[in-house]
Amino acid sequence: MKNKKEYAAVFLVGAFLYSLIEILWRGRTHWTMAVTGGACLLLIHLCNEHFAHLDLLSRCSLSSFCITGVEFAAGWLLNVRLHMMVWDYSDKYLNVMGQICPEYWAYWYLLSIPAIMLSTVILAVRKAKSGRY
């Protein structure tokens, strides 16, 4: 993994932005959401790197599924197992264990667009620095 600094920076940006989105959306956040957000943006970045041949809408779907998967895993650990109750979607239509739901999958789909655009810029900078045009 020769891009450790890049991946660490992407993780930190994701941690910050996810927490900021939570504060703007819900008025609060939890430190675990920073870790979750960092993991999500890093996954989006890795997917964008390895699936650049896919169209934007397909990459948005892939990204949204990745985010939803991370949220389910984090929710299962934090909310179900550790009873931290960081969030609860049990009142949402078609929710799974109160941790994920189609409504938020759609929000993540839309938020994947700027995340993929950011990732694309980062990948272009890496390519330019390496001298491969």
For 89-109, how does the pLDDT look when each residue is reduced to its tens digit (9 = 90+)? 999 999 999 999 999 999 999
Q: What are phi and psi of 32, to 5 degrees?
A: -65, -25
Environment class of residue 32 by beta-carbon count within 10 Å: exposed (0-12), middle (13-18) or buried (19+)? middle
pTM: predicted TM-score of the whole model, two decimal places: 0.92
Q: Tokens 């609060």, residue?
A: 28
Give the pLDDT confidence of 82-94 residue by residue, as tens digits: 999 999 999 999 9
Residue 105 to residue 46: CA distance in whole angstroms: 19
Please report, in angstroms and rounded to a whole number, the separation of the first and last CA atoms in the chain: 21
Check whether 1 has a pLDDT greater than 60.
no
